[in-house]
């Protein structure tokens, strides 16, 4: 999971329930070292930053990082370095997934997904069906926990992700049909970037 996704889920107090949503254990998840670094930096500062708006989210990220595996030893593949819109962290995640065919990438960075869709076909094929966007996580949570639970979490910090205001409604009062339709629309947009789709289908 990239730092962007982890931070947004932490703001929504969903990070610690993520393994349950995906039916895996916390140690089956892996994060970048930079997640803990950015979280500790926020805790030591009086001001919000681009990643963590509050210390509570940063503390949750540290707690999760302590349980999850690390991707410190992964060397990014040469083909993924210096690619526009794929930052060094995303390059590490993508490289790890290419090496380990069981791995699934969770990312909150839609620019990175669009960039992956433009990679060479042989790389795209290795990543097909192995990326999850945040909207897929939200849709899983909606199916398992229901609309009120999702509102109680996402509406804590709806501006954490631009699409959340559209999905949940400007007053966080969108009905379930609207939430489902908006989530499916965002997921469909990402899934249609290339064939076969990069996004996981379940």
pLDDT at 8: 95
pLDDT at 152: 96
Distance CA 6, CA 11 (A): 9
Residues of the chain with pLDDT below 70 are none
Structure tokens at 44: 């030591």
pLDDT at 6: 97
Domain residues of the chain, as ranges?
A: 3-191
pTM of the model: 0.94
H helices of the chain, where?
3-11, 18-22, 33-43, 55-67, 88-99, 110-116, 121-127, 134-145, 147-154, 162-168, 176-191
pLDDT at 72: 74
pLDDT at 91: 94
């Amino acid at each position: 999971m990239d730092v962007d996704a982890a931070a947004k889920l932490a703001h929504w107090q969903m990070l610690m329930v993520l393994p349950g949503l995906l039916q895996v254990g916390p140690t089956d998840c892996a994060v970048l070292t930079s997640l803990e670094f950015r979280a500790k930096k926020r805790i030591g500062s009086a001001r919000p930053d681009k990643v963590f708006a509050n210390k509570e989210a940063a503390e949750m990220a540290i707690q999760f990082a302590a349980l999850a595996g690390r991707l410190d030893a992964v060397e990014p593949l040469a083909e993924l370095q210096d690619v526009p819109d794929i930052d060094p962290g995303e390059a590490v995640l993508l490289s790890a997934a290419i090496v380990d065919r069981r791995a699934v990438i969770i990312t909150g960075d839609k620019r990175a997904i669009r960039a992956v869709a433009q990679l060479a076909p042989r790389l795209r094929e290795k990543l097909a069906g192995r990326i999850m966007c945040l909207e897929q996580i939200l849709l899983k949570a909606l199916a398992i926990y229901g609309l009120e639970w999702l509102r109680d979490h996402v509406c804590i910090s709806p501006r954490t992700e631009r699409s959340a205001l559209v999905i949940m409604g400007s007053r966080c009062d969108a009905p379930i049909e609207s939430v489902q339709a908006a989530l499916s629309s965002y997921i469909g947009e990402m899934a249609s970037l290339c064939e076969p789709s990069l996004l996981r289908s379940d």
